[in-house]
A and B are shown apart, each in its own frame.
Chain A
Amino acid sequence: GDSVTQMEGPVTLSEEAFLTINCTYTATGYPSLFWYVQYPGEGLQLLLKATKADDKGSNKGFEATYRKETTSFHLEKGSVQVSDSAVYFCALSVNTNAGKSTFGDGTTLTVKP
């Protein structure tokens, strides 16, 4: 079956530090890949996505590149802010799976001033 493995957290960084959250996946078909973010007390919202190999998704200074050869979709940001403190979920969705998404366990990021 499909699965997503995320770097375990929690992650604590100082403001302006570099962020990497690792994500690897296994999929039975050709997946689309996503990063979702959940701010405290809120639901999930899409942060970025990539639908085919070598695509780079980007949003709000975050980036992730779809690496088919390593089955990875690592999230990066060059300079984090306190407002980036949230839980980040890597996820995949395969067209043949009736629209369902498979989520990683989530990584909690805390950015300190």
Chain B
Amino acid sequence: SAVISQKPSRDICQRGTSLTIQCQVDSQVTMMFWYRQQPGQSLTLIATANQGSEATYESGFVIDKFPISRPNLTFSTLTVSNMSPEDSSIYLCSVEAATDNEQFFGPGTRLTVL
């Protein structure tokens, strides 16, 4: 299994500002994933972050709005840029297990944009 921590756990931000969310894993992993969970909804994959290369974004998500860094095999950041109230969500970091394709999730970052 993998233990994942995220910082901050929650934040309240003003419209037009940016927030960077950190994700730390207790073991080296090839791929890390960033999800968004809007209130009362399921998880939507934002992007896949591989170490040493640019992140791969899903349809509807762009690098200018959600820049991602992946400086090493245990750490990644997601920035939510130029925020609007529609960005209010829980943002979750996850990694894939070595076998069986299950995923381990961080506790999430609860973001509220005013």
Contact = CB atoms under 8 A, between A and B. Distances in A.
A34 B43 CA distance: 14
Chain B interface helix/strand/loop/mixed: strand
Given A42-B107, A43-B107, A89-B42, A99 B96 contact: yes
Interface stretch (B64-72, B81-89, B97-105): B97-105
A46 interface: yes
B40 to A, nearest CB: 8
A80 B48 CA distance: 36
A18 B94 CA distance: 32
Contact of A99 (B92, B101, B106): B101
Interface residues of B, number: 20
A94 B96 CA distance: 12
Given A99-B33, A105-B41, A51 B100 contact: yes
A20 interface: no
Given A98-B48, A105-B42, A43 B101 contact: no
Interface of B: 31, 33, 41-43, 45, 48, 56, 92, 94, 96, 100-108
Interface of A: 32, 34, 36, 42-46, 49, 51, 89, 93-95, 98-101, 103-106
